[in-house]
Amino acid sequence: MSPQMKLAAITLDCPDPLALAAFYQQATGFAPHPKSDADFAGLNRDDGLFIGFQRVDGYRAPSWPGQTVPQQLHLCFDVEDLDEAEAWLLGLGAGKPDHQPHEAARARVLTDPAGHPFCICRSN
């Protein structure tokens, strides 16, 4: 039997860690990590989950849905109201690609300010 593993952290490459951390802090309500700086910023959730943002010189945003620069990973968030969540996230600086692979009533693909795709999915 293999040991249990608990996801502890997710780290995203980006050109501006503090700016991307601020976007996700507003979007998720996670608390800013006190040692965040211009090279590496982080957010903490009460249960210990950590999202990190690390500066990468010459960062190239994913070209989703194309593969010129692969997305490499994406985050999914459950929301109660897709339209409300989408409007709110777009107001925070998210983008919405033209290509949407899911029916709009079930899920939407957005991009964070650094270009990483993420999904919002209807939670009910």
Contact 57, 14 (CB under 8 A): no
Q: When comparing pLDDT for 1 and 97, which is higher?
A: 97
Question: Is residue 111 predicted with pLDDT exceeding 70?
Answer: yes
More confident residue, 64 or 57: 57
Tell me, what's the pLDDT at 34?
96
In this prediction, residue 3 carries a pLDDT of 55
Phi, psi angle pair for 83, to nearest 5°: -65, -45
Strand partners, 119: 76, 109
- Give 16-58 pLDDT, tens digit per residue: 999 999 999 999 999 999 999 999 999 999 998 999 999 999 9
- Kindly state the tokens that stand for 40: 């590496």
3-state class (DSSP) for residue 13:
strand
- pLDDT of 67 reads 85
pLDDT for 1 equals: 63
Partnered with residue 96 across adjacent β-strands are: none
Going 85 to 88 to 94 to 99, the CA torsion angle's sign is positive
Contact yes or no for 108/82 (Cβ under 8 A): yes
What is the predicted pLDDT for the residue at 75? 83
CB-based contact 34:43 (threshold 8 Å): no
Average pLDDT for 55-70: 89
* Residue 117 φ then ψ, to 5°: -70, 145
